Structure 1
Amino acid sequence: MTLSFRPLTAAAALAFAFAAPAAHAQSIAIALDSTPDRETQGSYRYVDTMLSTLRDMGWETESFPRDSIGGEDERLDQIRAGILDMSMSNYAVTYQFVPEMRVMQLPYTFANSQHVFDFFTESDYLDTINEELAAEGMHVLAIVPTGGMLGIFNNQKEVRSVSDMQGLRMRALDANQLEMFRMMGADGVVIPFSEVPNALQTGIANGYVNASVVPLAFGQADLFTNFTDARVIMSARVALASTAWWDGLSDEQRAQLEEASLAGLRDVFAWVETSQEESMEALEAAGIAVYRPNDDEIATFRDATASMAELLEDVDPARIEELRAMVADYAPE
């Protein structure tokens, strides 16, 4: 299923949105965050399946190409203002307003992608989060994987255990990842994703943590020599809805949207399971050496980063333990 795009400038999109009500009966407009490729882009696959399911239910659907109505910050502003129905957004949006969501991205919180799926779809945790986000004009519909669990890419050497991280300078997404790399024995530098290729080519950074599919999807495979399937953190984007739009839906429409979202999640998580090994084979075909650590080697990464929870000063330690216990209840047997 191919989505129909409507190229608009940010100004034109905003003018259009203000000229008509943001919430229409059985309609949805969503801003994409990736290229329209189901085979390499997890968030697009989720949206594609969700919108296809909604169309089968009689909904009218519309999607905006990546950055066509603004970047992450602009889309967030539009969501909060009720101008945009939905956006595929950075996971960091959630802990900007609900700090405890950072707990979910602590290293080795989740055992694998199935663990992530089970927790976020079977627990009532997102209901709790959405109670807090409602006042900010946002509603999290789903946590969506971009690919498998994050591994370690670099262009210097093979990384088998955490001791091999010494001497590497890693691109960090945020301050959390900076600290994670420090605990692993590496240096880090925060670099926007758009600047990563130049940073790797000039030696500002030697690598990053990402899902195995990412360098393939973004044409970065020639920038790396090694990948370690360390399964450090879940890969995640957020399907973010405007509270104004969400509240304007009927109970039946909300149920349909949640059903379509779940169909999208099932599809993308099934794709993650089958594509993970395929992605690593594709990395090898592209000239990247892939290393699959054994349990003892994985434990060195886990042990090195075990104290990261202590750095979450804006989250009560008791709440951190409560959340970890909650997540553990959904761990695979």
Structure 2
Amino acid sequence: MKIQKTLLAVAAALTLVPVASSAATFRSADIHNADDYPTVVAVKYMSDVLEKKSGGKYKIKVFNKGALGTEKETIDQVKIGALDLTRVNISPMNAICQKTQVPTMPFLFHSVEHMRKSLDGPAGEEILKDCEAQGFIGLAFYDSGARSIYAKKPIKTVADVKGLKIRVQQSDLWVSLIGAMGGNATPMPYGEVYTGLKTGLIDAAENNIPSFDTSKHYEAVKFYSKTEHSMAPEMLLMSKVIWDKLPKADQDMIRSAAKESVAVQRKKWDEQEAKSLAVVKAGGAQIVEVDKASFQAVMGPVYDKFIVTPDMKRLVKSIQDTK
């Protein structure tokens, strides 16, 4: 209760334009620093669409650069209605909405096209809807790229991972994933990875190409091995507390505007990936093709540990069967 009161107080202090039934500016959070980051651009585009659809009744102000807190803090604020929207990676939602674990699983998607088609379809809608019972309206999935391992040596098969200290997000899934490959998972804050790679505290890390670029990690290690072990998406969430106060027609407008923003985010993401790939190659990084089958073959225990209900197993199969 004390935490909730604190969050309410903080959010109230940050509120610039209160949500009202006649006209409202919804506040949306994002941790990314760049104003032209794909998710930031997408939610700003959503605001333009929503303002037009609603005849000026609604718009969205994006607070990026972590201005409203960390992803976990903004999730907490959205849950209690102290913040209207937030854009987060799906991983922090895994412990809140069980079905969000499904698209986080390793090697679930065999291509970007497969990931997009699956999340745009019934399986994606079911996963978004799973968050409603926990106080969140799942509006859209955004791309977060394919995560791969980068190190001081090329990694071509799963045997090359054995014994490597690999930085991971502070998550049970990521620890299990690297462990299944034979590596030593080393949870570490993102801001410490560059120094860790430079000093040899860790041997490798894993992330997408834009992060490999913008974090300057390619200066520390030169081999980016395309394991593409995860294509876990981003989520755009709205507070159910706020949502339930809106007329059905307005809810439909918000959903529609969010869906329209997905194509903008994907286009911007594809452009960012191409740009970052050119940057890291120019900086001396080598892109290494891998034997993906050798990595996929050791993932059974990870699925056994995290895909634990009939519903989750059905969703996994549904996505795997999507053509």
Distance 1:19 1:235, change over 3 A: closer
| TM-score after normalising by structure 2 | 0.86
Contact 1:35 / 1:66 at 8 angstroms: preserved in 2?
yes
SS of alignment partner, residue 230 of structure 2: coil
Q: Which residue of 1 aligns with 2:198?
A: 201
Distance (Å, rounded) in 1 between the aligned partners of 2:108 and 2:201? 29
Letter in 1 for 2:166: M
Q: Which residue of 2 aligns with 1:166?
A: 162
Identify unmatched segments of 5+ residues in structure 1: 1-9
Q: Which residue of 2 aligns with 1:153?
A: 150
Contact 1:22 / 1:82 at 8 angstroms: preserved in 2?
no
Q: CA RMSD of the aligned region, Å? A: 2.6
Letter in 2 for 1:65: N
Contact 2:44 / 2:60 at 8 angstroms: preserved in 1?
no
Letter in 2 for 1:93: P
Q: Which residue of 2 aligns with 1:45?
A: 41
Q: Which residue of 2 aligns with 1:326?
A: 318
Contact 2:30 / 2:62 at 8 angstroms: preserved in 1?
yes
SS of alignment partner, residue 27 of structure 2: strand
Letter in 2 for 1:328: Q
Q: Which residue of 1 aligns with 2:225?
A: 228
Alpha-carbon shift at residue 49 of structure 1 (Å): 2.5
Distance (Å, rounded) in 1 between the aligned partners of 2:241 and 2:16? 13
Q: Which residue of 2 aligns with 1:6?
A: none
Percent of pairs identical after alignment?
Answer: 20
Q: Which residue of 2 aligns with 1:7?
A: none
Distance 1:24 1:120, change over 3 A: farther
Contact 1:140 / 1:238 at 8 angstroms: preserved in 2?
yes
Letter in 1 for 2:303: A
Contact 1:114 / 1:269 at 8 angstroms: preserved in 2?
no
Alpha-carbon shift at residue 23 of structure 1 (Å): 6.5
Q: How does 1:44-63 map to 2 (within 5 A)?
A: 44-57=40-53, 58=56, 59-63=58-62
Q: How does 1:6-25 map to 2 (within 5 A)?
A: 13-15=11-13, 17=15, 20-21=18-19, 25=23
The aligned length equals 313
Contact 2:48 / 2:59 at 8 angstroms: preserved in 1?
no
Q: Which residue of 2 aligns with 1:140?
A: 138
Letter in 1 for 2:27: A
- Picking from 195, 211, 218, the partner of 2:215 is 218
Q: Which residue of 2 aligns with 1:248?
A: 245
* 1:224-256 deviation line (CA, Å, top 9, x unaligned): 211012221114222111001122222222222
Which range moves more in the overlay, 18-27 or 167-176? 18-27
Distance (Å, rounded) in 2 between the aligned partners of 1:165 and 1:153? 11
SS of alignment partner, residue 262 of structure 1: helix
* 1:300-330 deviation line (CA, Å, top 9, x unaligned): 11112233111127x22x3343112211232
Distance 1:224 1:128, change over 3 A: closer
* 1:274-299 deviation line (CA, Å, top 9, x unaligned): 55444323211111111123xxx111
Which range moves more in the overlay, 57-66 or 23-32? 23-32
Q: How does 1:69-80 map to 2 (within 5 A)?
A: 69-80=68-79
Q: Does residue 169 of structure 2 align to residue 175 of structure 1?
A: no
Distance (Å, rounded) in 2 between the aligned partners of 1:166 and 1:205? 13
Alpha-carbon shift at residue 22 of structure 1 (Å): 6.8
